[in-house]
Amino acid sequence: MKIDIKKSTKTVKYSDAIEFLEKRVNDVIHNKSNELVWILEHPSTFTAGKTYEKDEILDKNINIIETSRGGKITWHGPGQLICYFVVDLNKRKKDIRKFINIIENTIIQTLKKYKINSFSDRKNIGIWVKKNKEIKKIAAIGIRVKKWIAYHGFSLNVNNNLDNYNKIIPCGIKNKEITNLKLIKNQSYKNIKKEIIGNFVNNLNNEVF
C-alpha cells in the first residue's frame, strides 16, 4: 500500500495539523488519498484527550485544547517530534492492540539505534526508559479510529523544555516523571526523523500485519 511521507521543517500550529489530518482521514475513507506518515513539531501547546479530568490541570492559566484523541493531557512543543499518521486498517488487520504494538516497537527500535533501551507498559500506554533506578516516560501515544482508519499519532521527547510538564499531570500519571533523549544520552539525534519514518513504514508493511 502506498504511504505518503510528509516532513515539516517549520513548526505547525496544532489546529492546522488536525484539520489537515482529519481531511486526509475522510479522503482515505473515500479512496481519494493514500495513507500518511507526517513528522513535525508544534509550537508550545497543551492538549487534552477524551478522558482527562479538570484536576489534572495544575496551572489554571494555561490554555488547553480539547481533542478527539484518546488519553489525557499532554504538552507539545519545540524539541519534541510528533509523528502523525493515517493508516487504513480495513486493508490490514482490524486489530487496534496490534497497531499500538507496531507504534511501540517503532519507537523502541529507533531508540536502540542510539543505544537507548526502552520499553512499553500495558497499564500506562507510552514508551518508558529506566535511568538510575527511576522509570521515566520518553514517548506518548494517542490514537483515534474512524471506520477502521487509525489516526492521530505519537510524540517523542528529544531536547524539549520539560518545565512545561509541571503545569499539568501528564497523561494522568502522578508518580512518574517525563524525560527527553538529550538528558538520557547527550549525543546527536540529527537523523532520528529518518529512523522513525523508516522503522514505522517497515513495520506497517511487515507481512505479519
Active site residues: 171
Cα–Cα distance for residue pair 164/74, rounded to 1 Å: 9
Strand intervals (E) in 12-148: 35-40, 45-48, 64-66, 73-76, 80-88, 119-120, 127-131, 134-146
> CA distances (Å), 62 to each of 44, 69, 126, 172, in order?
11, 20, 24, 17
Instruction: Report the candidate in 142, 7, 152, 176 with the shortest Cα–Cα distance to residue 73.
Output: 142
Q: How many beta carbons lie within 10 A of that of residue 21, not counting itself?
A: 18
- Joined together, the cell numbers standing for residue 82 give 510528533
